[in-house]
Amino acid sequence: MTSQVKVLPSGHTFSAGAQETILDAALRQGIGMPYGCRNGACGACRCKVVSGDFAQLDGYSSKALTEQDKAQGYALLCRAQARGDLVLEANEMSGSRDIPIKTLPCRVEKIERIHDVAILKLKLPVAERLQFLAGQYIDILMKDGKARSFSIANAPHDDAFIELHVRHQPGGHFSDYVFNTMKEREIMRFKGPLGSFHLQENSVKPIVFLASGTGFAPIKGIIEHAIHSGLTRPMTLYWGARRPADLYLRELAESWLEAVPGFRFIPVLSDALPDDGWQGRTGFVHQAVLDDFADLSAYEVYACGSPLMVEAAHRELTTGRALPGDAFFSDAFYLSKDGTKP
Ligand code: FES
């Protein structure tokens, strides 16, 4: 049985299956309900049920939802399932400014090295989940008091871990540490989510993604969120790199071709050698977009990676391809010596 849930005062509606929590259903459909732990501990998802039946599942903290809360018609959405159509009252998150920024410890659960990129999976304390919008970033707080910024590479629904992609910059303080010293189970601290680079959920425009290098990370998060949300907007991903090995998750990007109707993936190499046997596109990644599109006036473009690429894409797509300035969204990686954003 599927129920319809209406949220006041926004009037947004979403459907909720009997076997999923109301919070999961809302997030799956891009409704920005507030949450913290997603396991009944923190109370951040508590909201008033104005009308309708629901089941409050066991396994929540009596501090997160008290007997008095229940008597007054409140529910913990991360531990509740709809049993009919519902009307809720909740303060929805409409953008990155609405999401609380937290400073949290995390454990390095897994380090996977692919070519010169380390894929870190960070685990939060049991009672914490990080609410974020796909495409945002976190600051890793170093022991020397400095912060290193990294985009979140997973989608918000897939939040058991925070995934970061760290390119090795020889001589770089943090990336050298990740490649040479960091061990699994190590504890770090971070602050986030940060940044305003995220999918514009209310738009229906087709999307062009432009990534260079590990600029793929936040775009991966956005695409996985779009897939999970059932987004039907056509999406084209251009991923620029120097040589084939630099497309460090190329098979994942290729798998989206099968999984997502209307998805196109165009890898572009700038420094392929004859030995690479590269048969695909070559040159600068933003040039490939210029070559393929005569008119981008009806599109949105999301660009992430080197400042040179992002700035050239913005300049040339807005002036040469009629892309509206407010349809260009970007996150440029201004590299410090250690290879991270400042
Ligand atoms: S998100 Fe923490 S109690 Fe629901």
- The ligand 1 atom at the shortest distance from the C-alpha of residue 40 is 3
- Write down which residue in 194, 226, 241 finishes a domain: 194
| Distance from the alpha carbon of residue 24 to the mean position of ligand 1, in angstroms | 11
Residue 97 lies in a domain: no
Query: Based on the structure, what is the number of domains in the chain?
Result: 3
Q: In terms of domains, do 187 and 211 share one?
A: no
The string of DSSP letters for 166-177 reads EE--TT-HHHHH
- Report yes or no on 41 lying in a domain: yes
Beta carbon of 35 within 6 Å of any ligand 1 atom: yes
Q: Indicate if 218 and 322 belong to the same structural domain.
A: yes
Distances (CA, A) of 136 to 95, 160, 214, 221, 307: 11, 16, 14, 9, 17
- pLDDT tens digits for range 73-114: 999 999 999 999 999 999 887 777 778 889 999 999 999 999
Asked whether 147 lines ligand 1 (CB < 6 A), one says no
CATH number at 157 reads 2.40.30.10
Chosen domain end from 167, 194, 221: 194
DSSP 116-163: TEEEEEEE--TT------TT-EEEEE-TTS-EEEEE--S-TT--SEEE
Same structural domain, 141 and 185? yes
- Asked, for residue 187, whether it belongs to a domain, the answer is yes
- Please identify, among 66, 89, 112, the residue that sits at the C-terminal boundary of a domain: 89
Q: Are residues 173 and 84 in the same domain?
A: no
64 CB under 6 A from ligand 1? yes
Statement to judge: residues 85 and 33 lie in one domain: yes
Residue 127 CA, closest ligand 1 atom number = 2
Residues 14 and 84 grouped into a single domain: yes
Residue 95 lies in a domain: no
Could you tell me if residue 250 is inside a domain? Answer: yes
What's the gap in Å between 107 CA and the centre of ligand 1? 21
The pLDDT tens digits for 111-134 are 999 999 999 999 999 888 899 999
Q: Give the residue, out of 76, 81, 128, with the most ligand 1 atoms within 8 A of its beta carbon, to mutate for a pocket test.
A: 76
CATH code for position 27: 3.10.20.30
Average pLDDT score over residue span 46-61: 94
Structural domain contains residue 294: yes
pLDDT in tens, 166-211: 999 888 888 999 999 999 999 999 999 998 899 988 899 999 999 9
Which pLDDT belongs to residue 320? 94
Q: What are phi and psi of 16, to 5 degrees?
A: -135, 125
30 within a domain of the structure (yes/no) = yes
Residue 23: give the domain boundaries: 2-89
Question: 106 and 75, same structural domain?
Answer: no
Between CA 341 and CA 276 the distance in angstroms is 30
* 34 CA: nearest ligand 1 atom: 1
Backbone angles phi, psi at 220, to 5 degrees: -55, -45
Do 255 and 302 reside in the same domain of the chain?
A: yes
Average pLDDT value for residue range 37-57:
91
- 36 CB near ligand 1 (under 6 Å): yes
Claim to verify: residue 15 and residue 81 sit in the same structural domain:
yes
**Per-residue pLDDT tens digits for 213-255:** 999 999 999 999 999 888 899 999 999 999 999 999 999 999 9
